């Protein structure tokens, strides 16, 4: 900060600002760029980033009747399952037996992202300068439910020694770190369905704080078990249209009746621009802005005014130093839950007016919870890079006056895209990605 102009405290007081505020503005205007150098995805519409993108842009729907267990007695019998996933293609056999599905999805996505970022060298930075932040909403809930059912019905009350390490929220990050030799910062965030977005933001903050040169942001969840379905169905949060799975999730449509559960994982490698350029990395996009806040309203219901979600979006724009008109596409949280969709639509109108093109990819994937925040960020990056904006499936009668992309992809050359991720507890997360341009 040698070039920073010197201001006397009395001058700051005269201008009605504090010295700390002045320093904050200086740092924000002169901070190093955070860039993306790797991506990975495991989703209901495709395994691997290219297949995921192909699924989204071709209009594929990954929502169908549940096949992982007999859901015939449940009120909700549909979900976005990851089909065709072979854990042995992504991790050692011993590790498969020690991990829950959410860890396996996280591991596979992380491996793809690291390979894109670093190739055969393994890591994009020295082990102690490389870190990881994991985002998950419910971690090993399906293992908890299955183990309790076995324990309740078993004559011999025996629970395996790997039960606890399988279900811990941080275990996915730990298993990835152990396998890849990542010895830098290791954190896990659990902010409901905002977890994946917040994991990316936390990675950026670690990089700006100088704690690492490269960070791996990972998000994953696998919550498809009767215990969770019973609870969400009784809360009337889920669509019950079991006879038409591919049409059951209808974000922003007047006929929407609830969201559809999904599962999967996503990963991004983030680096400081200087580090990425020094090692000759291919830079995919810039993470330009991020923000997090809370509705402070209700445990499960959104603030229907959308006021705090609007503030979250505005703060992400402020951090990016961008005007609303510079955003060419919004990948909305849009789950198909009428109240939540209406609140988000109001928030978008507050910040953008009728706004940029907007879609929700959850109609294709289902609600992937922790994995959604990152895979939807990947959709934004690929929209910028390819000029294809993915559609909202099943949207025929919009409930809001916004520029929705419905039915099929839209071709558009855009420089920046925003993604929202909102969760129970009033959690709001917003990210902005921008096409990478050298100065």
Residues 6+ apart with CB under 8 A from 106: 134, 136, 172, 173, 176, 218, 219, 220, 265, 267
Tell me, yes or no, whether 28 lies in a domain.
no
> Nearest CA to 306 among 317, 316, 297?
297
Q: Is 432 in contact with 352 (CB distance < 8 Å)?
A: no
Report the pLDDT value the prediction gives residue 20, as an integer from 0 to 100: 45
If you average pLDDT over residues 125-152, what whole number do you get? 88
Digit-coded pLDDT (tens) for 273-286: 999 999 999 999 99
Provide the pLDDT confidence category of residue 150 given band limits of 50, 70 and 90: confident
Tell me, yes or no, whether 7 lies in a domain.
no
Alpha carbon distance 140, 132 (integer Å): 19
Rg (CA), the chain: 21
Q: Provide the domain count of the chain.
A: 1
Provide the pLDDT confidence category of residue 2 given band limits of 50, 70 and 90: very low
| 94 vs 436, residue with greater confidence | 436
Tell me, yes or no, whether 27 lies in a domain.
no
Tell me, yes or no, whether 74 lies in a domain.
yes
| 426 vs 164, residue with greater confidence | 426
Report the pLDDT value the prediction gives residue 239, as an integer from 0 to 100: 97
Report the pLDDT value the prediction gives residue 1, as an integer from 0 to 100: 39
Provide the pLDDT confidence category of residue 151 given band limits of 50, 70 and 90: confident
The CB density around residue 372, as the number of other CB atoms within 10 Å, is 37
Tell me, yes or no, whether 16 lies in a domain.
no
The burial class, CB within 10 Å (0-12 / 13-18 / 19+), for 439 is exposed
Q: Which of 61, 193, 203, 409 is catalytic?
A: 193
Report the pLDDT value the prediction gives residue 377, as an integer from 0 to 100: 98
Report the pLDDT value the prediction gives residue 439, as an integer from 0 to 100: 67
Report the pLDDT value the prediction gives residue 4, as an integer from 0 to 100: 38
Tell me, yes or no, whether 12 lies in a domain.
no
Report the pLDDT value the prediction gives residue 11, as an integer from 0 to 100: 36
Q: Is the pLDDT of residue 8 over 70?
A: no
Q: Is the pLDDT of residue 29 over 90?
A: no
Q: Which of 61, 203, 333, 380 is catalytic?
A: 333
Report the pLDDT value the prediction gives residue 165, as an integer from 0 to 100: 79
Q: Is the pLDDT of residue 5 over 60?
A: no
Residue 323 backbone phi and psi in degrees, to 5 = -90, 155
Report the pLDDT value the prediction gives residue 426, as an integer from 0 to 100: 96
If you average pLDDT over residues 216-226, what whole number do you get? 95
Q: Is the pLDDT of residue 18 over 60?
A: no
Q: Is the pLDDT of residue 24 over 80?
A: no
Averaged confidence pLDDT in the chain? 91
Report the pLDDT value the prediction gives residue 156, as an integer from 0 to 100: 67
Q: Is the pLDDT of residue 9 over 60?
A: no
Alpha carbon distance 281, 262 (integer Å): 33
- Whichever domain contains 159, its CATH number is 3.40.47.10
Q: Is the pLDDT of residue 27 over 80?
A: no
Digit-coded pLDDT (tens) for 59-88: 999 999 999 999 999 999 999 999 999 999
List the end-to-end C-alpha distance of the chain, in Å, as a whole number.
Answer: 20
Q: Which of 61, 225, 367, 409 is catalytic?
A: 367
Least confident of 18-22, 110-114, 334-338: 18-22
State percent of the chain over pLDDT 70. 92
Tell me, yes or no, whether 343 lies in a domain.
yes
**pTM attached to this predicted model:** 0.91
Q: Is the pLDDT of residue 12 over 50?
A: no
If you average pLDDT over residues 152-159, what whole number do you get? 72
If you average pLDDT over residues 308-317, what whole number do you get? 98
Digit-coded pLDDT (tens) for 315-342: 999 999 999 999 999 999 999 999 999 9
367 is catalytic: yes
If you average pLDDT over residues 357-363, what whole number do you get? 98
Q: Is the pLDDT of residue 195 over 70?
A: yes
156 is catalytic: no
Digit-coded pLDDT (tens) for 409-418: 999 999 999 9
The CB density around residue 202, as the number of other CB atoms within 10 Å, is 22
Q: The tokens of 140 are what?
A: 């090993």
Provide the pLDDT confidence category of residue 153 given band limits of 50, 70 and 90: confident
Report the pLDDT value the prediction gives residue 158, as an integer from 0 to 100: 75
Query: What range defines the domain where residue 63 resides?
Result: 34-434
Report the pLDDT value the prediction gives residue 30, as an integer from 0 to 100: 52
Q: Is the pLDDT of residue 176 over 60?
A: yes
């Amino acid at each position: 900060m040698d070039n920073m102009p010197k201001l006397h405290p009395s001058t700051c007081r005269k201008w009605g600002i504090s010295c700390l505020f002045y320093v904050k503005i200086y740092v924000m205007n002169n901070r190093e760029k955070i860039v993306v150098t790797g991506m990975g995805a495991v989703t209901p519409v495709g395994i691997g980033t290219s297949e995921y993108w192909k699924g989204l842009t071709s209009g594929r729907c990954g929502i169908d009747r549940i096949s992982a267990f007999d859901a015939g007695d449940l009120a909700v019998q549909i979900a976005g399952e990851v089909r065709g996933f072979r854990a042995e293609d992504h991790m050692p056999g011993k590790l498969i037996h020690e991990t829950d599905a959410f860890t396996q999805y996280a591991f596979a996505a992380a491996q793809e992202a690291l390979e894109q970022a670093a190739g055969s060298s393994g890591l994009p930075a020295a082990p102690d300068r490389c870190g990881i932040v994991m985002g998950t909403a419910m971690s090993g809930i399906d293992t908890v439910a299955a183990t309790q059912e076995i324990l309740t019905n078993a004559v011999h009350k025996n629970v395996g020694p790997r039960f606890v390490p399988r279900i811990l929220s941080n275990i996915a990050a730990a298993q990835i770190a152990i396998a890849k030799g990542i010895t830098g910062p290791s954190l896990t965030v659990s902010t409901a369905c905002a977890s994946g977005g917040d994991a990316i933001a936390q990675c950026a903050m670690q990089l700006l704080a100088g704690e690492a040169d490269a960070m791996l942001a990972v998000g994953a969840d696998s919550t498809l078990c009767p215990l969770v379905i019973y609870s969400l169905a009784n809360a009337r949060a889920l669509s019950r249209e079991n006879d038409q799975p591919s049409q059951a999730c209808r974000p922003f449509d007047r006929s929407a009746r609830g969201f559809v559960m999904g599962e999967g994982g996503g990963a991004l490698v983030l680096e400081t621009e200087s580090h990425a350029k020094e090692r000759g990395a291919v830079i995919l996009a810039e993470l330009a802005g991020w923000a997090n806040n809370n509705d402070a309203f209700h445990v499960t219901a959104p603030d229907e005014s959308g006021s705090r979600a609007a503030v979250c979006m505005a703060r992400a724009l402020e951090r990016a130093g961008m005007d609303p008109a510079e955003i060419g596409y919004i990948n909305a949280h849009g789950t198909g839950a009428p109240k939540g969709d209406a609140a988000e639509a109001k928030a978008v109108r507050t910040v953008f007016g009728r706004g940029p093109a907007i879609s929700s990819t959850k109609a294709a994937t289902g609600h992937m919870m922790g994995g959604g925040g990152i895979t939807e960020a990947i959709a934004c990056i690929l929209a910028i890079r390819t000029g294809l904006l993915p559609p909202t499936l099943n949207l025929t009668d919009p409930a809001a006056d916004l520029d929705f992309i419905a039915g099929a992809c839209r071709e558009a050359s855009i420089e920046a895209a925003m993604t929202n991720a909102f969760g129970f507890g009033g959690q709001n997360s917003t990210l902005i990605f921008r096409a990478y341009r050298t100065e």
